[in-house]
Chains A and B, each alone.
Chain A
Amino acid sequence: EDQVTQSPEALRLQEGESSSLNCSYTVSGLRGLFWYRQDPGKGPEFLFTLYSAGEEKEKERLKATLTKKESFLHITAPKPEDSATYLCAVQEAGSSASKIIFGSGTRLSIRP
């Protein structure tokens, strides 16, 4: 069965302490991998789309990378406002373009 697994479930960092979040996926073919940020009680906010292994995208303190089996979201020198749940989702190639499969997310907390 297709799966999207994120680790760790929760991560607490000191402000300025860089780290990485992991998203492992098992689909027969990848159409796209998405990273979202979700604040409590709000809808997921789109961050990045990655399509092929080796691809990288950056936005402010965030950088997303993709391999054939996993993606990393690197956070450099985070600030307290980066605290949120980060969701990874995949869209499988060859299937209906409708649905994406979400991981359970990583709850990131940045201490001042």
Chain B
Amino acid sequence: AAGVIQSPRHLIKEKRETATLKCYPIPRHDTVYWYQQGPGQDPQFLISFYEKMQSDKGSIPDRFSAQQFSDYHSELNMSSLELGDSALYFCASRPWTSYNEQFFGPGTRLTVL
């Protein structure tokens, strides 16, 4: 079965650089979520989108922005990277019509040096 695809899987950046993470949801899933998971921590909700519009906002820094495109894929743009941004970034998707579980991608490991 198709799963959530994230790219890149690993990314190394310097402080103050920018990064763009991509997420391709499961087909027919129109809702996308972004999470940040620091070492040894639980996933923290950043932001979500439904039908290309932001549906909810969590603890996303102002330096980050995201959007969902017409094909439902989403991109998380991160600017002025800081050492503390090093983490696993997960994307999850689900169909809006269902209150069921979110399906997670494999994550992007971002390392800021």
Using a CB–CB distance below 8 Å, which chain A residues touch chain B? 31-32, 34, 36, 41-46, 49, 87, 91, 96-105
Contacts and interface: CB of A to CB of B under 8 A. Distances in A.
Interface stretch (B14-22, B38-46, B63-71, B74-82): B38-46
B89 to A, nearest CB: 10
Interface of B: 4, 31, 33, 41-45, 48, 50, 55-56, 58, 88, 90, 92, 96, 99-107, 109
B106 A34 contact: no
Contacts of B58: 99
A44 B90 contact: yes
B63 to A, nearest CB: 20
Contacts of A34: 101-102
Which 3 A-B pairs rank lowest in CB-CB distance, beginning with the nearest? A98-B56, A43-B104, A102-B42
A1 to B, nearest CB: 14
A44 B43 contact: yes
A41 B45 contact: no
Nearest to B102: A100
Contacts of B102: 34, 46, 100
B34 to A, nearest CB: 11
B55 A98 contact: yes
A99 B45 contact: yes
A95 to B, nearest CB: 9
27 contacts: A31-B99, A32-B100, A34-B101, A34-B102, A41-B88, A41-B107, A43-B4, A43-B90, A43-B92, A43-B105, A44-B104, A46-B101, A46-B102, A87-B42, A91-B99, A96-B55, A97-B99, A98-B31, A98-B33, A98-B55, A98-B56, A99-B56, A99-B58, A102-B42, A103-B42, A104-B41, A104-B42
A46 B103 CA distance: 7
